[in-house]
């Protein structure tokens, strides 16, 4: 029988090989199409999606090109005499700064509280409880339905030692904001907390600008913040930091020395001399 007339018969193994070849060809074309589609999506808009994907997986160091090095230009070295190009205080071996201290009057706690009395005649309230004392001052400003107000609370122990000084201002009336802040600044000056002029200026600037801060200034810890429940109300808290060492003594470490910031600075003790008395002519 001629070969042309033979039936085209296939074994099961031949059929499996043909099916496997068809699957491989289809998978190859599918992978090429998906790769082309992914490349198009990643490279559109100057590779915006590609950059976003790289940043998502934090691979910028490995997949982004390194930035070019900045151009360096080395000029000729010229020796300049420092005394002509730098301020003299910068060239000194040791820097010194003039400090001005305010002299506070020896007043009792009640007398210091009475200094909060303002020009409008509003008087503070002073009370004692054993060795502790408290000074309260309250004043309203304006005729609004919810008037602006100033509240001061000072506490301490005898004889006239201040442990806390708190000011609360309520700026509920826009027409009296300046008057309330001015009165708060004036109260800090009248009460007579000993401060250097630089610290007092720093405190006045923060209060006038309603700038929140938390600082350790000189021997005080100061905090000025806005109330969470009402953004129109501010609180200023001044906590004096106790002196733990006398003149010439070595300061002892605080119990929480690991959590307390320490600032090293040289402190000198000055011996005050009285003015010489004029001699009478003999």
Q: What is the pLDDT of residues 29-76, one digit of tens each?
A: 888 888 888 778 777 777 777 777 777 777 777 677 777 777 777 666
| Range of 22-36, 175-189, 244-258 with top mean pLDDT | 175-189
The whole-angstrom distance between residue 86's C-alpha and the CA centroid of its chain comes to 32
Distance CA 181, CA 170 (A): 10
Q: How far is CA 34 from CA 52, 53, 54, 57, 96, in A?
A: 20, 17, 20, 22, 74
Q: How many CB atoms lie within 10 A of CB 201?
A: 11
Residue 103 CA to its chain's centroid (Å)? 31
- Picking from 117, 115, 155, 116, the residue whose alpha carbon sits closest to that of residue 134 is 155
Dihedral sign (CA 33, 36, 38, 44): negative
- What confidence tens digit (pLDDT) does each residue in 103-125 have? 556 778 888 888 888 777 778 99
Look up residue 87 and give its DSSP letter.
-
Say if strands 161-170 and 148-157 run parallel, antiparallel, or are unpaired: antiparallel
Contacts (Cβ under 8 Å, ≥6 apart) of 117: 123, 124
Whole-angstrom Cα distance, residue 247 to residue 256?
23
Residues paired with 167 in a beta bridge? 152, 236
Name beta bridge partners: 237: 166, 223
Distances in whole angstroms, Cα of residue 16 to Cα of each of 7, 13, 21, 226, 275: 19, 5, 9, 79, 119
At residue 282 the predicted structure's pLDDT band, cuts being 50, 70 and 90, is very low
Give residue-wise pLDDT tens across range 191-241: 888 787 888 888 888 888 888 988 888 788 899 999 988 888 999 999 988
Confidence tier at 78 by pLDDT (50, 70, 90): low
What sign does the CA torsion over 194, 200, 202, 207 have?
positive
SS3 201: helix
**In which element (H, E) is residue 254 found?**
none
């Amino acid at each position: 029988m001629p070969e042309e007339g033979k039936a085209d018969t296939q074994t099961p193994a031949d059929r499996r090989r043909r099916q496997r070849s068809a699957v491989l060809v289809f998978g190859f074309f599918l992978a090429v199409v998906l790769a082309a589609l992914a490349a198009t999506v990643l490279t559109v808009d100057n590779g915006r999606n590609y950059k976003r994907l790289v940043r998502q997986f934090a691979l910028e160091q490995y997949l982004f090109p390194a930035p070019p090095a900045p151009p360096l230009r080395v000029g000729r070295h010229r020796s300049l005499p420092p005394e002509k190009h730098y301020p003299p205080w910068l060239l000194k071996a040791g820097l010194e700064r003039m400090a001005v201290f305010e002299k506070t009057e020896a007043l009792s706690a009640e007398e210091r509280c009475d200094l909060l009395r303002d020009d409008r005649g509003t008087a503070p309230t002073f009370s004692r409880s054993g060795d502790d004392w408290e000074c309260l001052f309250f004043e309203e400003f304006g005729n609004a339905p919810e008037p602006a107000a100033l509240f001061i609370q000072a506490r301490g122990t005898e004889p006239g030692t201040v442990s806390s000084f708190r000011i609360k201002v309520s700026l509920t009336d826009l027409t009296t904001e300046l008057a309330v802040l001015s009165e708060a600044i004036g109260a800090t000056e009248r009460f007579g907390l000993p401060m250097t002029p630089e610290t007092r200026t720093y405190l006045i600037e923060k209060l006038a600008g309603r700038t929140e801060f938390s600082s350790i200034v000189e021997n005080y810890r100061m905090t000025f913040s806005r109330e969470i429940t009402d953004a129109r109300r501010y609180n200023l808290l001044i906590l004096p930091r106790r002196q733990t060492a006398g003149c010439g003594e070595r300061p002892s470490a605080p119990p929480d020395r690991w959590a307390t910031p320490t600032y090293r600075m040289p402190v000198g003790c000055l011996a005050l001399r009285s003015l010489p008395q004029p001699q009478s002519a003999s």
